[in-house]
Chain A
Amino acid sequence: MTKKRWFQGIGLILLVALGVFAYQTRQVSHAGQSITAVGSTALQPLVEAAGEQYTGEHLGTFINVQGGGTGTGLSQIQEGAVQIGNSDLFASEQKGITSKQLVDHRVAVVGITPIVNRKNGVQNLTTQQLTAVFTGQVTNWKQVGGADRPIVIINRAQGSGTRATFEKFGMNGHRSRTAQEQDSSGMVRQIVATTPGAISYVAFSYVDKTVDALHLNGVAPTEANVIDNHWKIWSYEHLYTNGQPTGLTKDFIAYVESPAIQKTLVRQLGYLSPDQMHIERDVTGKVTQIGGAR
């Protein structure tokens, strides 16, 4: 019996100690040493790499980066559940986001290109042809000058930032017909590479030798063409905060926007830096010339 009491006593002490420990760590994490960024999977690699680098340089801080998609990022930041919401879209473009509190921080530019299976025999399309392909008016590659094989459309999921950008700037706002949907760019590339007749769209960084990137109206999908807006299908990558950022959030966003990251990590990971752009585009698609590359 006494032995049992001993064990109970030790158990109680352990429990209390655990509680105290949890309380202590809770205090620490609320003191601004740890922030969470959630959202876009397209932006996730950049924020993750920048976060790692930042926490390496600033001991005692922790940047927690999670995916989940643009919708998740924006709804979580609107609810104030996280410190940073990663988004491929302007917040006002996403349905269900009403908060006027959200503050936009553009940290990167991503070019998006149509990709096709290598055996389709098509290298160039006009915007009109591309729209016809995705809306289902054209169903065989030979109708746009390619091989005689049926067109297989692979879409990203509804609400995906890449898809929204592609439909807005690649198809002049037309909506793709209902077709296959995949929820990640890596998956899309693999399917396009292995499926005869397939066409889809991914960010530049996902293009490799297994697929062909299409020229559009004779313009090649290159970073140089994105910079001066000859290539129209691109989007900003946004870090959204609920109200003006403070503390670690503010420091981290400033760090991501600093030349140290913009000139190195951003470009290494296949994004463009907003500083490189010769033009600026607002949420309505209005383009203004800016000073040029800094």
Chain B
Amino acid sequence: MKEQSTSVASLERQLKKHSKAAKLEVWGRVVSFSALVLIVAVVVAIIGFVASKGIATFTTNHVSLWDFLTGKNWNPGIKDAHGKPEVGALSMIVGSFLITILSALIATPFAIGTAVFMNEISPNRGAKILRPVTELLVGIPSVVYGFIGLSVVVPFTRSVFGGSGFGILSGTFVLFVMVLPTVTSMSADALRAVPRFYREASLALGATQWQTIYKVVLRAATPGLMTAVVFGMARAFGEALAVQMVIGNAALMPHSLVDPAATLTSVLTTGIGNTVMGSLQNNALWSLALVLLLMSLVFNLIVRLIGRKGRLQ
């Protein structure tokens, strides 16, 4: 009897005591959770900071949100006829969207074509040559793209399309090359995710390879391809340096693609060093940053939405 009770007690102790593995488990959880907390805190801090600074234009400087979003004159240092500061951001918002949409429009067919070639038509050569090349393109710093844009693309645009060469068209050309690798590699991933038996079934039904690609693979991969394009657009929208070097940075409503224009990012990078913290000029730039941040949130939401729709099908 006595022996039994001691063995029960020791067994109980053994069971109740945390094993080494259990301790490791807790430790691992603490580490990963604190990493998560840190990242979330950083994100919240950034959003909070940009928002508080960006809203100051409207609360402290009493600029109306409507004037900000629809005004066409951007001279934060100067007051207009009504004594209100000229902080109309419409021309920059339009510039940003134009350049983003145009470069995505041009890049998408090339990217999907490359991805199809890499995955469906010639997987061997695709894996050997094209994949490393696209990955190389991703690694080139944006200032290099900007410099090439300034010394090659701008003179090219000037001689072919006229104007000074600086403008949305040059920006589009540069961004096209910059978003191409992103869209290509994500499109390739999307095509690879299409199950093999889709293709087999299609070919077994007597479809040609092109019919299989066009009617089956691309259709099945549509949500993934759309995600790729939206990601490319998000990159184009946020790109600052390369665009700033070729777009001309004139805060004017774009009347043609070869006139100098400005994007939200290009005005931010040129202007931030010349303003004083807390002044209207500075707050107005923060408001632009807030618009950029909100837009990237919107792009993320769109990606989420597409992902969810894709899963339901």
Cα(A170)–Cα(B147), bound, Å: 31
Determine, out of A7-15, A71-79, A243-251, the stretch whose residues face the partner at the interface: A71-79
Closest to B249 in A: A181
Closest to B151 in A: A194
What total count of A-B pairs have CB within 8 Å?
Answer: 101
A-facing residues in B70-94 (Cβ within 8 Å): 73-78
Given A152-B164, A157-B274, A178-B252, A195 and B158 contact (CB-CB distance below 8 Å): yes
Partner of A183 from B150, B270, B280 at Cβ < 8 Å: B270
B274→A160 contact, CB < 8 A: yes
A158→B77 contact, CB < 8 A: yes
Cα(A69)–Cα(B252), bound, Å: 24
A178→B251 contact, CB < 8 A: yes
B164→A195 contact, CB < 8 A: yes
The answer to whether B223 has its CB under 8 Å from any CB of chain A is: no
What residues on B are CB-neighbors of A183 within 8 Å? 244, 249, 269-270, 273
- How many interface residues does chain A have, given as a range? 35 or more
Distance (whole angstroms) from the CB of A182 to the closest CB of chain B: 7
A-facing residues in B15-37 (Cβ within 8 Å): none
B271→A178 contact, CB < 8 A: no
Distance (whole angstroms) from the CB of B174 to the closest CB of chain A: 16
Cα(A198)–Cα(B271), bound, Å: 22
A78→B276 contact, CB < 8 A: yes
Partner of A181 from B155, B164, B250 at Cβ < 8 Å: B250
Distance (whole angstroms) from the CB of B264 to the closest CB of chain A: 14
Closest to B165 in A: A195
A157→B270 contact, CB < 8 A: yes
What residues on A are CB-neighbors of B209 within 8 Å? none
B279→A70 contact, CB < 8 A: no
The answer to whether A175 has its CB under 8 Å from any CB of chain B is: yes
Cα(A197)–Cα(B245), bound, Å: 19
* 18 additional contacts (CB under 8 A) given A71-B281, A71-B282, A178-B73: A72-B273, A75-B276, A75-B282, A96-B277, A96-B280, A157-B274, A158-B274, A159-B77, A159-B271, A175-B75, A178-B75, A178-B250, A183-B269, A183-B273, A190-B150, A191-B150, A194-B154, A195-B166
11 pairs from A and B in contact (CB 8 Å cutoff): A95-B279, A96-B275, A152-B164, A157-B273, A159-B274, A179-B250, A180-B249, A180-B250, A183-B244, A194-B154, A195-B166
